[in-house]
Amino acid sequence: MQVYPVAAARDEFVHDASMALNATIHVLEIELADADRGVYESLALRVARHPSEAEDYLLTRVMAYCLEYTDGIAFSSGLSTPDEPAIAVRDRTGALQAWIDIGVPDAARVHRASKAAPRVAVYTHKPPEQLRRALAGERIHRADALQLIAVDRELIAAWVRRLERRMKIGLSVSGGQIYLALGNETIEGANRPFTLADEAGN
């Protein structure tokens, strides 16, 4: 397992002139300590939220970025670039290594993603059955290789209730459990992987 030492705060900006005028910018300072992957980073994120983007979608996007954090990771330019993943991981040549989506993408989008990247993951903040219904039985390239993650909806909801334009956050992962430190309060939860055939995860 590769271990990344704590580094100086890394800035992640969303460059999208079409969003800049109307978007709400959230400045998030996140201390990431993912013991399961051996990833420890100080992240300084400036995340643009489009007026049509729900807060739970935004925070699922931020959580997925943290849980997938690695060299070459970046947010897309936003909702004005629908042909791009919400989060992409690229190697040093610019080749797409991972397509990470949020919510309930349709089957055509996931099919395209699976042909474009060696790895595709979807973090959904909706009931898993919604994503399962959207994808099951549809033509999807390498459907059995999809990584589907049901985000802890109570954890996201608790974060939404405390969401501010500027926040300092601690996000720790150990043994599959997620610990979210918001001010003097720590909230605990766990995401859950599921499959298209899994009927138990409504």
What's the pLDDT band for 8 if we cut at 50, 70, 90? very low
Does some domain include residue 36? yes
Model confidence at 101: pLDDT above 60: yes
Nearest Cα to Cα of residue 100 among 152, 61, 135, 134 = 61
Mean pLDDT, rounded, for 181-190: 96
Does some domain include residue 153? yes
What's the pLDDT band for 145 if we cut at 50, 70, 90? very high
What's the pLDDT band for 22 if we cut at 50, 70, 90? confident
When divided into structural domains, the chain yields a total of 1
Does some domain include residue 94? yes
pLDDT of 78: 61
The single residue listed with the structure tokens 């993912």 is 34
Does some domain include residue 102? yes
Does some domain include residue 149? yes
What's the pLDDT band for 166 if we cut at 50, 70, 90? very high
Q: Tell me, what amino acid is at 61? A: R
pLDDT of 5: 36
Does some domain include residue 63? yes
Model confidence at 3: pLDDT above 70: no
CATH number, residue 52: 3.10.640.10
Report the chain's mean pLDDT, rounded to a whole number.
88
Does some domain include residue 154? yes
Q: Which tops the pLDDT comparison, 78 or 156?
A: 156
What's the angle, vertex CA 142, arms to CA 98 and CA 85, rounded to 5?
30
Q: How much is the pTM?
A: 0.88
For residue 99, the cross-strand partners are: 88, 120
Q: Of all residues in the chain, what percent carry a pLDDT higher than 70?
A: 85
Nearest-angstrom CA–CA distance, 37 and 173: 9
Does some domain include residue 173? yes
Domain containing 115 equals 10-194
Mean pLDDT, rounded, for 59-64: 98
Query: Looking at 17-21, 36-40, 147-151, which range is the least confident one?
Result: 17-21
Model confidence at 1: pLDDT above 70: no
